[in-house]
Every structure is written in C-alpha cells, then in structure tokens.
Structure 1
C-alpha cells in the first residue's frame, strides 16, 4: 500500500503545484517524505510573500476538530517539530482569522521497536569498545625512529 501512496502523493503534489502556480494567496505545505521513526520531522511551505500572523495547526482529526495545538509562525518557511508519540497527525496553515490558507498534510509517526533500539544501542557500545581498545593499544607502542 505504501508503494501506491508515494507515487500518488508525488503526482498530486505536482498537480497542486501546477494548479496554484499563478495564485500567490495559496501556500503549499509539504510533509516529510517518509514516516517518522523517531518522533521528529520538518514541515516546509512555499514563499509566503507578505503573509503575516500565520499559524500552523495540529490535529488528530482530518477535519481539524479539535485543534490540539497552534504554532505561531514568523517569516519562516519551515518548522522542525519533535516529541510526537506514535500516531497520525494532521497539519495546516491558517491566517490571523483562523482561515485555512494551505493544503492539509498528514504525518505518520511509527517508532522503532524495542528490539531494534536495543540492537542499535549494542552496536554503538561495541563500536565504542573497539575505539577504546584501539586508543589504548596505539598509545602503548611508540613509533621507532626511522633509520637512514
């Protein structure tokens, strides 16, 4: 199913870009390219021109009822978000009057399994021990001066 979602998303994004290329009032919000496995991700949007008082709204419902959080934005064109639990999150940009001025995007967060996290930790520990071993033994043997 994910193989179908990626091309569909890419094609729909191209269609959206072509349809609104001549309208400066609409902002295109772009989600991350893949499912977040760590609970953090970045959202980007096109140039805002003279848009002030933008907010990024977060909801667990695709109809944005209720809105869980609203992030006030300045003249930036991206935001990095972190600390999300597993689940599906919906985002959209609104103006100062709470009117939607962008497309809605979906971000899926699916954390790694505990066994995967333990394996990564053990791999890091083994590499750290190899580094300590190499540092310890490299200092024990002094280089001999070169004879001519």
Structure 2
C-alpha cells in the first residue's frame, strides 16, 4: 500500500519561534540607537533655531561698530521669541543668546543652550557655546561644531 505524502502547509512552531527570537534581538539593539539618533536630531533642530538669532545678532553687532551692547530680543532687527517643538523660548541680551529647551528627551525640559559672543574679528562674530544639558549624547551633539 502506498501512502500519499502531503505538501507542507506552513511553518513549524520551531521556525516561528526562531523568527520571533531574531526579531526580538534586533529590536533590543535597534531601539536604543533609534532613540539616540532622534534625540541628536532634535538637538540639531534646536541649534538651527539659534542660527537665525545668531545671524541677527551678528548683523546688529556690525551695525553698532563691533559692539554687542544693546543687541537685545525684539530690538535692532533681532526677532522676538518663536517657540518650536524643540525650543520653548529664546532670550537675547547684549548679544548673548539663550535657548530654553522643550522636552527633547532625557530630562532636557528647561535646560538651556547659550551662545555667547566670544570675539568680534572684523566682520566675523566668533561664538562660544555652553549648555546646562547633562546627558552626554545630547551635550556632545550641541557642542560639536558649535564651539
């Protein structure tokens, strides 16, 4: 007597368990990296908000003959605060720009990024960047290429 063999109808339980285990391992590695990348992107967006104010302050300093005194928020061509997802508020006092962060991750709400006028050389304004953010990933993203 000859037995007919049936064609396989699907995956076995062990094959499905292996796939689930692989997906779990990949997710465990990928999720922390994804959070790091999104946090860095949010920090970069916050710095971009500061760039508009840096340009306005630099123009104000040039118009005042190389002096930052009087280059304040809402005066001399420096715009008023514009809140974004990443920046809750902006303050400019005598050329020093302070960005108060919104919650961009890892306890950053109310932390600040400050751009101080370090030096004026001819028409160029040299900035010094400081921050109260304590998380090293975000702090490095802020200070990289901004000091």
TM-score with structure 2 length normalisation? Answer: 0.27
Between structures 1 and 2, the one with greater helix share: 2
Higher relative contact order (CA 8 A, sep 6+): 1
Rg comparison, structure with higher value: 2
